[in-house]
Amino acid sequence: EAEVAQSPRYKITEKSQAVAFWCDPISGHATLYWYRQILGQGPELLVQFQDESVVDDSQLPKDRFSAERLKGVDSTLKIQPAELGDSAMYLCASSLRAGTSVSYEQYFGPGTRLTVT
Amino acid sequence: GESVGLHLPTLSVQEGDNSIINCAYSNSASDYFIWYKQESGKGPQFIIDIRSNMDKRQGQRVTVLLNKTVKHLSLQIAATQPGDSAVYFCAENIGGGSNYKLTFGKGTLLTVNP
């Protein structure tokens, strides 16, 4: 069964350092999402891509976070500089294509657990 | 602002019993709802979904009920098993088009006692 891949699974970094997460969506999925999940809470959307274009980054802290999906396939989320409050699980999800009748289901990857010290 | 929330943060049941997890939503424009299961250290896993033009949908051992009158969603799990122990999230989609996104509730921790 096809899965969303994420790496690394765990990352420990010191505050003020740069950190990057990678996501490879399910093949053929045009829509890709990055979420942040704080322990005990539901995932919160950071950014949504349709192919290589950003369609929603309203909740992305753009002073320190950036995301790209240059070829419309895999994606990278970067934090620079990392702050203590960034400690969380970062989840990537993909779906066929948002806006079509069969597109709504999002498939999640295993996530990257970030700890900022 | 409008949000999705859960009535019960924790639920403990005996193995073999039926479980009911509830969710309240406040946005009448929501047209699609999903239940996800999340085990410790893993990403959310799709369980079942329902569109706003339906009031009930059944899957394998799970049933989702949608009451649009009171903006309430529930997940019923039949013959609950230890492997069902996890956090369950409901999520709603507001609107459509290419900019649709899911808003997640806070989650309910289900514990199944053997």
A25 at interface of B, judged by CB pairs closer than 8 A? no
Q: What is the pLDDT of residues A24-71, one digit of tens each?
A: 999 999 999 999 999 888 999 999 999 999 989 999 999 999 999 989
Residue A91 has pLDDT above 50, yes or no: yes
Q: Give the separation between CA B67 and CA B64, rounded to whole angstroms.
A: 10
Shortest distance, CA B7 to any CA of chain A (angstroms): 14
- What is the side-by-side order of every strand in the sheet holding B62-67? B4-5, B19-25, B72-77, B62-67, B56-58
Of A27, A76, A95, A39, nearest to B102 by C-alpha is A95
Structure tokens at B112: 């199944």
Instruction: Note the pLDDT of residue A25.
Output: 97
Phi and psi, residue B99, nearest 5°: -105, 20
Q: Structure tokens of A12?
A: 């420990």
Mean pLDDT of A65-90: 96
Q: Using the beta-carbon criterion (under 8 Å), do A108 and B43 form an inter-chain contact?
A: yes
B105 touching A, CB under 8 A? yes
Residue A113: list chain B partners with CB under 8 A.
41
Per-residue pLDDT tens listing for chain B (114 residues): 344 554 448 999 999 999 999 999 878 888 889 999 999 889 999 999 999 999 999 999 999 999 999 999 999 999 999 999 999 999 998 765 555 678 898 899 999 998
